[in-house]
Amino acid sequence: MYWDIYRTLSYNALFNFIVGARSVGKSYGCKKWAIKDFLKTGAQFIYIRRFKEDIQRLPLFFDDIQAEFPGVKFKVKGNKLYINEEIAGHAFTISKANLEKSTPYPKVNKIIFDEFLLDTSEGYHRYIPNEPKILFKFYSTVARMREVKVFLCSNSITISNPYFDYFKIERPYQNEIACKDDILIQEPNCPEISQKSYETRAGKILARIDPEYAAYQYDNVYLKDTDDFIQKKTVKSTYQFALKYKSVVYGIWVDYDAGLQYVSLDYHKSGKLMYSITMDDHSENTMLIKGQKSVLVKSFYRNYLNGTVRFESVKVKNACANIIKLLH
């Protein structure tokens, strides 16, 4: 019924991204695995959250699971998690993890990063600059040539996020799990939990008043990703120019018969018209968009607002939404 971490472990990946609906047991499963492994082998774990206020709730870490381990004594003191009076875990915020460069953790064999994805559209939360790289540096400090497994758990926010970009992760569209080059992505499918959630009184209300959010909560539908305006360019499309944003180049194409522009990762590398959106992307081969914009860029911006631009994937669409904000 709930997510089975041991099935995931059978793939033996180092980095495991578990992205699923609420209440399927992502955090609980990782916690139970960490406790059982400590009781059996003495192996420790590291628990990571992003914000200080999340770590401030650390004293409640064992509250929901201690009933499963009768006779076992749990305690939290500072950023240490104790089991039977011995240190079993260490807790950090991702912002502080980079300060642990010289601290050895020889007994740690697993890292759990809970709620690693953010809904940045809400405005008051942002990823730390270079956050995935900070995590990887911290991993190298902890592992020190050992095989330490990492589990990153989150609800389904959006595929357009720094972690999927950094680790080059694509969704497992055909299956629940995709594993390549020691990196696993899993979208747990727990239909029984989903059905039970919809049958609760709150679930019935949410399904009635906000079905899209209910799908995110209960069905593992990504909150910020929709198929609106997703369409690959037609064979009649003509290449116009390119936009470079966060080191990725997007080709802009037009089909005059359809009256549509298309944004694709396909572009003419020999084309001379490539615009950089930010100074970080600017190079001798690009033209920086600053102040007065070209006629082509103005036209693209206007067409976007008019709804006559199509995108080859959700990821491309989400990137263009950020580009448009910068062009405003």
**Single-letter residue type at 70:** P
DSSP lists the bridge partners of residue 17 as: 152, 185
Residue 223 has pLDDT above 80, yes or no: no
Cβ-based burial of 295 (10 A; exposed 0-12, middle 13-18, buried ≥19): exposed
Contacts of 7 (CB under 8 A, 6+ apart): none
Q: Number of C-alpha atoms within 13 angstroms, CB side, residue 298?
A: 6
Distance of CA 295 to the CA centre of its chain: 36
Contacts of 169 (CB under 8 A, 6+ apart): 17, 163, 183, 185
Residue 313 has pLDDT above 90, yes or no: no
Residue 174 has pLDDT above 70, yes or no: no
Q: What is residue 24's three-state secondary structure?
A: coil
Residue scoring higher pLDDT (218 or 18): 18
Q: Hey, what long-range contacts does 288-296 have (CB within 8 A, 24 or more apart)?
A: 289/327, 293/327, 296/240, 296/241, 296/252
The average pLDDT across 25-51 equals 95
The average pLDDT across 98-117 equals 87
**% residues pLDDT > 90 (the chain):** 49
How far apart (Å, rounded) are the C-alpha atoms in residues 199 and 181? 40
- In 3D space, the residue among 151, 230, 227, 219 whose CA is nearest the CA of residue 184 turns out to be 151
How far apart (Å, rounded) are the C-alpha atoms in residues 298 and 327? 9
CB-based contact 83:73 (threshold 8 Å): yes
Residue scoring higher pLDDT (98 or 94): 94
Q: Supply the pLDDT for residue 158.
A: 84
User: What does pTM read for this prediction?
Assistant: 0.77
How far apart (Å, rounded) are the C-alpha atoms in residues 119 and 222? 11
Within the chain, all domains assigned CATH 3.40.50.300 are found at 5-219
The pLDDT mean for the chain works out to 87
- At the fourth CATH level, which superfamily is domain 5-219? P-loop containing nucleotide triphosphate hydrolases (3.40.50.300)
Q: Looking at 5-19, 94-108, 137-151, 254-268, which range is the least confident one?
A: 94-108
